[in-house]
Every structure is written in C-alpha cells, then in structure tokens.
C-alpha cells in the first residue's frame, strides 16, 4: 500500500473505454484526452458522484490541505426531489440541474472531471474510468442508488423509473404524447385507454407522480384540447401493500390516500401478479393500446449486482 503522501500516477489504459457497468448514459460521444492532474504532493481525495453526497463532501474539503477530484458521468448536479415536476412538464430540466463546475468553482483545490467510473481497485488505490485511470489516496464513493422493480426487472422497459433526468424526460414524453394521441383518436375505448395512466409503487415518488399527473390533467391542461377533456384521464396507483407511504406515520399515510382519492385517483392491489401492468392490461383488452405506465421503484445501492460490484471493488475475496 502506498504512502498517503505519495500518490501514484497510473498510465491511461486505452482499453478502459467501453467497460462501463452502466451503459445507459454515455457522457461524451468523442474520446476525452488523458487525465493529467499535474504535480502535487498533497493527498489526493477522489470523490465519485456529484449528487448531494458528493457535493457536500467536496464542499467540506474545499480549501483543506488536500487536492480533490470529483468525478461524475454527468456535468450537472440533479435535484432529484423535483424530478416528478419535470416528468409532468411543470418545471423545465434546467430548473433542477446545475453545473457541478459552477457549484465548486470557488474551491481552487477541487477539479471536476466528466467521466464514468467503471472499476475501483482498493489494493492499488486506483479507479478505472471510461476514458482513463486515476490514483487516489482517499476515495469517497457517493454514486447514489438505482431503482429496484420489486423483483421484476422485466417491468423496467414498460414502466420507466424516476431517478434520472433521462427517465423524467421519458415519462414526460409518454404523458404528453398520450394526450396528443388521444386528441386525434376517434374510438372512445382507445381514447380511454390512452388516458389511463398507471403508476406502480405507492412510496413517496409514486404518490408525488400520481398527484402531479392528476393536477396536470384536471387543472393545467384542462382548456388546451378540443376533442378530449384531459380531466377524463384516469390515474391508477398500483401498490402491493395495504397503504401508500408505508413507513410514514399512519396519520400521514391515510391523509395522503384521502388527498389522492380527492384528485379522482384509483388505487389497485398488485399482489400476486406475475405480469407487468402493461401486459396485464393488454391481455384484458388486446385491441386497445397499453396505458402509459410509470414505475416509482424502490432504491438499491449502485452498483447492486454482485458481478458489477466485484468489477467495481476488485477486493480480495469478492466472489
Ligand atoms: C423522485 C425523487 C424524489 C425525492 N424526494 C426527496 C425528498 O423530498 N426529500 C429527500 O430528502 N430526499 C428525496 N429524494 C432522495 C434524494 O434525492 C436522494 O437521497 C439523494 O439525491 C441521494 O444523493 P446521493 O449523492 O447519494 O446520490 P445521487 O444524487 O443519485 O448522485 C449520485 C451521482 O453519482 C453519479 N454516478 C453514479 N454512478 C457513476 C459512475 N459510475 N461514474 C461517474 N458518476 C456516477 C451520478 O451521475 C450522480 O450524479 C428523492 C429522490 C427521488 C428520485
């Protein structure tokens, strides 16, 4: 193990690109030049992730006698709590995304890198990036979480989650697209199907998303169409447990349910179903288009699968 005061610079690996564990987001279409953080004898702290965790860690270390490199595969910090507002077109993407460089620009000891971490080697104390490698003396992993589809990962293509900007924009496109298609649909049954929105998961994200869908259909879009009344939209919140907002005080959980029902929201049990909500709808009404369906999944640490975790942490004994 190297001394903490003698950081080792590792060569850039030309084969590192393309070994990403997360393939959904490719940060740059063109290859980035090799990383050169310059000669510096201060301990090198690498922070993985520019979310709340990573940004706060960086701020704490700003102006401390260390050099800090914060790496994120996106160049913006995302305010996740308002993702559902972007998903329902109440806010613009730029309202909840802010450049990481701008947030940290006043800290001269902090360098921000746009790249994707694909492997972490705790023995050699270096990380592999999509476009290079980097040595660290101290490593802070704040890579956030990813959605878990209640043991049904096959649901994901039918019901996008709501943890990233890409997912929020996907939901937004599906929601607005459903209203547009319904406006041009002559068949009343098909119109009803298009205007039936299914949200899977009655946790905070599902409750927020269902409520926001009800608001835009019953209020925001009310006057905007000629052939449909957006208020005819049906929003179905599918929750497998007995209550929404499980884990919250009973009083709040009941109040949330009452508020949702007041917004003309249907709730449906999910237990026992092995089919995706979209498939279930299709089998029942095969001639009709599947309803727009959205997932409000739970969270699991990133990376979650043992194989990719081992790729990240090439620790002795990791199987
Ligand atoms: C819809 C929604 C609503 C929420 N509402 C609330 C709320 O009301 N109140 C509340 O307290 N919390 C809320 N949360 C939870 C809160 O947003 C999260 O707990 C918080 O964002 C987690 O911060 P983090 O830094 O751990 O991870 P994140 O904010 O997810 O940041 C992780 C960062 O790591 C980067 N990253 C990941 N993998 C890599 C990689 N391999 N290479 C490079 N970069 C990588 C990502 O790009 C990301 O920028 C909500 C979450 C969601 C999704």
Residue 146 and residue 279: Cα distance in Å, rounded?
A: 24
Assign domain 153-299 to its CATH architecture: 3-Layer(bba) Sandwich (3.50)
Q: What is the pLDDT of residue 157?
A: 81
Residue 291 and residue 281: Cα distance in Å, rounded?
A: 7
Ligand 1 pocket, CB under 6 A: 22, 48-54, 71-74, 80-81, 83-84, 116-117, 142-144, 162-163, 205, 302
Q: What is the pLDDT of residue 310?
A: 47
Cα dihedral sign, 16-143-40-114: positive
Torsion of CA 277, 271, 262, 169, to 10 degrees: -40
Token representation of residue 123: 């023995």
Pocket perturbation via mutation, ligand 1, pick of 80, 115, 132 by most ligand atoms within 8 A of CB: 80
Residue 70: how many CB atoms within 10 A of its CB? 26
Identify how many contiguous H helices and E strands the chain contains and give both numbers: 10, 15
Q: Mean pLDDT per 10-residue run, the chain (319 residues)?
A: 35 30 46 64 95 98 96 96 93 97 97 96 94 94 84 80 92 95 95 92 91 91 94 90 90 90 61 42 49 66 51 45
Exposed (0-12), middle (13-18) or buried (19+): which is 288, by Cβ within 10 Å? middle
Q: What is the pLDDT of residue 108?
A: 96
Quick check: is 208 catalytic? yes
Note the helical H segments in the chain: 52-61, 83-87, 93-96, 100-104, 165-183, 188-194, 204-215, 250-262, 277-284, 306-312
Q: Indicate the DSSP class of residue 218.
A: I
What does pTM read for this prediction? Answer: 0.78
Q: CB neighbours of 186 closer than 8 A, spacing ≥ 6? A: none
> Domain spanning 1-144+302-319: which CATH class is it, in words?
alpha beta
Boundaries of every domain in the chain:
1-144+302-319, 153-299
Domains 1-144+302-319 and 153-299 share a fold: yes
Query: Which strand (E) or helix (H) includes residue 239?
Result: strand 234-239
- Is residue 44 within 8 A of residue 69, CB to CB? The reply is yes
Ligand 1 atom with the shortest distance to the CA of 77: 49
Q: Indicate the DSSP class of residue 41.
A: -
Q: What is the pLDDT of residue 88?
A: 92
- Is residue 31 within 8 A of residue 116, CB to CB? The reply is no
Pocket perturbation via mutation, ligand 1, pick of 72, 145, 202, 207 by most ligand atoms within 8 A of CB: 72
Nearest CA to ligand 1 atom 17: 80
Exposed (0-12), middle (13-18) or buried (19+): which is 100, by Cβ within 10 Å? buried
């Amino acid at each position: 193990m190297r001394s903490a005061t003698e950081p080792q610079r590792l060569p850039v690996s030309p084969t590192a690109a393309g070994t990403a564990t997360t393939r959904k987001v490719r940060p740059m279409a063109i290859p980035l030049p090799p990383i050169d953080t310059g000669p510096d004898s201060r301990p090198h702290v690498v922070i993985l992730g520019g979310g709340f965790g990573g940004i706060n860690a960086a701020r704490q270390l700003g102006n401390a006698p260390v050099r800090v490199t914060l790496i994120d595969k996106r160049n913006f910090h995302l305010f996740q709590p308002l993702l559902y507002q972007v998903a329902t077109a109440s806010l613009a993407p730029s309202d909840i995304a802010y450049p990481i460089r701008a947030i940290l620009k006043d800290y001269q000891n902090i360098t921000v890198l746009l790249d994707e971490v694909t492997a972490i080697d705790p023995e050699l104390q270096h990380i592999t990036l999509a476009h290079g490698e980097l040595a660290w003396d101290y490593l802070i992993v704040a890579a956030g979480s990813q959605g878990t589809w209640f043991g049904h990962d096959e649901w994901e293509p039918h019901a996008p989650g709501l943890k990233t900007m890409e997912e929020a924009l996907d939901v937004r496109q599906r929601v607005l697209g459903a209203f547009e298609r319904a406006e041009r649909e002559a068949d009343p049954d098909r119109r009803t199907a298009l205007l039936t929105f299914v949200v899977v998961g009655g946790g905070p994200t599902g409750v927020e998303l269902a409520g926001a869908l009800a608001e835009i259909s019953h209020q925001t879009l009310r006057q905007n169409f000629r052939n449909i009344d957006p208020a005819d939209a049906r929003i179905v919140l599918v929750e497998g447990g007995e209550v929404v907002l499980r884990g919250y005080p009973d009083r709040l959980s009941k109040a949330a349910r009452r508020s949702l029902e007041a917004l003309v929201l249907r709730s449906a049990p999910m237990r026992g179903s092995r089919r995706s909500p979209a498939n279930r709808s299709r089998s029942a009404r095969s001639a009709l288009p599947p309803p727009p369906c959205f997932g409000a999944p739970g969270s699991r640490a990133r990376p979650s699968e043992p194989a990719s975790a081992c790729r990240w942490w090439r620790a002795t004994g990791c199987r």
